[in-house]
């Protein structure tokens, strides 16, 4: 009996090591691009918009099926004036949050479906320009949502996640919109500001899926 107990104590760490994932921590690039757009309306210059967007995600396992994660997204936008010589202010948007992901049974050797819930703080800024002025918008508050997707194993160290948002709702958020009109005769501006507070306590999982997110990741 004593020999059996000593043997179990000796091999237990080896069994736990074999059962646990060897590579638990993960880093993913969920967004990274540069975009520049120049618009014309009826042949007239309506301004230019440039965007730099970068986001990442860190995740680690609770167990073999459940994973916690934290993620962030930073978006920087700059604007050049068009015909009216007035442009929106340059802006920086930020989203920070985290959630829980659950992995289902594998569909194939390197294909694993998953779903996750997410809560995040978002401060999003955007603008639209035309030949008579521009409109600036800002959304600020706490949001919650869910997504589903599949994980494709590339090799032992790298993977790719394909996921689509099921819903993204505001728990407590404020939307602000300011419209600036430019008088072409003297260049004077007129501003109109609108503010809306909202709470969305519902889950909308019907209808068309939103855009698919592709995340490239590395295990370490």
Provide DSSP, 26-37. Answer: EEEEEEEEEEEE
The token pair at 108 is 């194939």
Single pTM value for the model? 0.78
* 205: confidence class by pLDDT, cuts 50, 70, 90: low
The rounded distance, in Å, linking the Cα atoms of 99 and 145 is 9
Q: pLDDT tens digit string along 142-190? A: 999 999 999 999 988 899 999 988 888 899 999 999 998 888 777 788 8
Structure-model confidence comparison of residues 18 and 104, the more confident one: 104
Cβ atoms 180, 86 nearer than 8 A: yes
The rounded distance, in Å, linking the Cα atoms of 110 and 23 is 15
- Using DSSP bridges, classify how beta strands 26-41 and 66-80 pair: parallel, antiparallel or unpaired: unpaired
The token pair at 104 is 């289902």
pLDDT at 7 over 60: no
**Tell me, which fold does domain 37-219 have in CATH?**
Lipocalin (2.40.128)
The rounded distance, in Å, linking the Cα atoms of 166 and 182 is 40
Question: Looking at residues 116-123, what average pLDDT do you find?
Answer: 96
What pLDDT is attached to residue 1? 45
The rounded distance, in Å, linking the Cα atoms of 85 and 204 is 42
Mean predicted lDDT score pLDDT of the chain: 83
Helices marked H in the chain — which ranges? 2-19
The rounded distance, in Å, linking the Cα atoms of 89 and 79 is 7
The rounded distance, in Å, linking the Cα atoms of 80 and 49 is 7
pLDDT at 130 over 80: yes
The rounded distance, in Å, linking the Cα atoms of 74 and 148 is 23
Structure-model confidence comparison of residues 183 and 138, the more confident one: 138
pLDDT at 17 over 50: no
Q: Domain limits of the chain?
A: 37-219
Nearest CA among 192, 81, 198, 74 for reference residue 136: 192
Phi, psi of 14 (to 5 degrees): -65, -40
What pLDDT is attached to residue 84? 80
- Alpha-carbon dihedral of residues 156, 158, 160, 166, nearest 10 degrees? 90
Q: pLDDT tens digit string along 80-98? A: 988 888 889 999 999 999 9
């Amino acid at each position: 009996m004593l020999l059996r107990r000593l043997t179990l104590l000796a091999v237990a760490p080896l069994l736990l090591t074999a059962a646990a994932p060897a590579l638990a921590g993960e880093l993913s690039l969920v967004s990274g691009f540069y975009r520049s757009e120049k618009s014309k309306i009826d042949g007239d210059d309506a301004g230019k918009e440039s965007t730099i967007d970068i986001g990442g995600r860190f995740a680690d396992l609770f167990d073999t099926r459940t994973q916690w994660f934290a993620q962030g997204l930073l978006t920087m936008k700059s604007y050049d004036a068009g015909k009216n010589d007035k442009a929106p202010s340059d802006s920086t948007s930020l989203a920070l949050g985290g959630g829980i992901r659950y992995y289902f049974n594998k569909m194939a050797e390197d294909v694993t479906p998953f779903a996750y819930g997410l809560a995040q703080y978002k401060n999003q800024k955007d603008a639209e320009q035309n030949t008579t002025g521009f409109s600036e918008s800002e959304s600020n508050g706490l949001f919650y949502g869910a997504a589903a997707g599949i994980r494709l194993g590339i090799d032992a160290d790298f993977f790719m996640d394909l996921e689509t948002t099921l819903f993204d709702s505001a728990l407590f958020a404020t939307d602000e919109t300011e419209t600036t009109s430019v008088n072409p005769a003297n260049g004077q501006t007129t501003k109109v500001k609108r503010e809306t507070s909202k709470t969305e306590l519902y889950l909308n999982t019907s209808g068309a899926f939103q855009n698919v997110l592709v995340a490239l990741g590395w295990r370490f």
